[in-house]
Structure 1
Amino acid sequence: MNFPDATTSSNRELLGSLLNRQSQWPLGLPIPDADELSLVFQVAMRAPDHSNLKPWRFITVRNPATHELGEVFAAAALKRNAQDQGKASRSQATAAPMLIAVGVRISVSDKVPEIEQMLSVGAAAMNILNALHILGYGAYWASGQNSYDPDVRRALGLTGDNERLLGFIYVGTPSKISRLKARPSAAEFVTDWLGPVPDSVASRG
């Protein structure tokens, strides 16, 4: 699959496209084909990775496997709450035609703390969201109880004591055009550091 790189396309156009990225719902078919999905994961691999630990783990779940995942969700919900009938859990797994489970494998490292490895996975997941958006698909990242349930984690193949499940990226084509959500001005969250902040100012938060 050919994809324009920065040397042959407008960087501003690509940035402009990202300014329109937001979580999309509801999502239906089509989903990325094999070539597009390969490209998406190649973009994910461009995330910062201190010491080349490669902590990312991504598991794709597509129909009809989403229904199998729904049963896993329902069984986990029942185990957490004997009154849970599993209907909502099954719906969570089939809410989009494709899900990408976002996992992390933590390596013991004197140089790279756990938080850095988890941030690397977060950066890779954001790359996936951006790549899907540029390719014309919709997506949103969700967590919730299933993301932290050991039974769900093991069912997805994240069986090591050093492996965790951080959430699910739901993938598909938006069924309707969503109104662009307002975002705060970046200026509110950016400061120009000119030297140490006096204690009297720092104490005020």
Structure 2
Amino acid sequence: MSSPLSLLQQRHSAPSRQLSEPAPDEATLHAVLEAAIRVPDHGKLAPFRIILLRGEAKLHFGEQLTALAIRRDPQLPESNREKERLRYTFAPLVVTVIARIDHSSKVPAIEQKLSAGCVAHNLLLGAYALGYGAQWLTGWAAYDPEVAALLGLAENEQVIGFVHLGTAQIDIPDRDRPELASLLSTWSP
């Protein structure tokens, strides 16, 4: 019998370049997203939202990012231009997790961001539990104000991550993990 913790003990990311069809169907995606938003949420603010990138929209998004990158660096090598253009096209679905910070709330902004981060992590767990591959990526686009405008984000919103979802095309080896003993201590007065 497997341990109830085996999902957490075995979960790993699948590189976005190794993800392809099939992505979760609509019913499965809806179920995964419903589960993903069940996160700690001090103040019941729901300080997050989700934007899906699918189909041709992923390539169009990459082309827009490439144009931004070239405008900032006209000498950007062709290989980097192509990398930017295709970055979001490998996985069949990219779930963009957005933090919505309510600055008027007594709940600190960091707690609101962490709640949104939990949504992204739950997406990884949900995908893995259902046999899909997923990778949470950020990169410069997650922190860029012009990309935020491209995505239609409000001033109080920011990208937490782009979660690439699909089916892994190779067996993904686990990476080395830290030893718990090197991270654990007990505080005493």
TM over 0.5: yes
One-letter amino acid of the structure 1 residue matched with residue 137 of structure 2 = A
Q: Establish whether residue 45 from structure 1 lines up as the match of residue 25 from structure 2.
A: no
- Give the gaps of 5 or more residues in structure 2: none
Distance 2:179 2:86 in 1: 36
Q: Could you say what secondary structure the match of 1:68 adopts?
A: helix
Identical aligned residues as a percent: 39
Instruction: Report how far residue 110 of structure 1 moved.
Output: 4.6
| Structure 1 position 182 matched with structure 2 position 137 | no
Unaligned runs of 5+ in 1: 1-9, 197-205
Runs of 4+ in structure 1 deviating by more than 6 angstroms, as ranges, are none
Instruction: Tell whether the 8 Å contact from 1:24 to 1:139 is kept in structure 2 after alignment.
Output: yes
Is it true that 1:36 corresponds to 2:31 in the alignment?
no
Residues 114-133 of structure 1 correspond to what in structure 2 (within 5 A)?
114-133=109-128
Structure 1 position 24, deviation (Å):
0.4
Give 1:203's aligned residue: none
CA positional deviation for 1:121:
0.6
Could you state the TM-score of these two structures normalised by the residue count of structure 1?
A: 0.83
Which of 138, 146, 162 is matched with 1:143 structurally? Answer: 138
How many Å apart are 1:80 and its aligned residue? 2.2
Q: CA RMSD in A?
A: 1.6
Aligned to 2:11: 21
Cα 1:14–1:33 change in 2 (3 A) is farther
Normalised to the residue count of structure 2, the TM-score between the two structures is: 0.90
Instruction: Report which stretch shifted further, 128-137 or 164-173.
Output: 164-173
2:63 aligned residue (64, 68, 71):
71
Q: Measure, in 1, the Cα distance between the counterparts of 2:49 and 2:129.
A: 22
SS in 2 for 1:19: helix
Larger CA Rg, structure 1 vs 2: 1
Conserved 8 A contact 1:18-1:134: no
Question: Across the two proteins, how many residue pairs are aligned to each other?
Answer: 184
Q: Which amino acid aligns with 1:183?
A: R
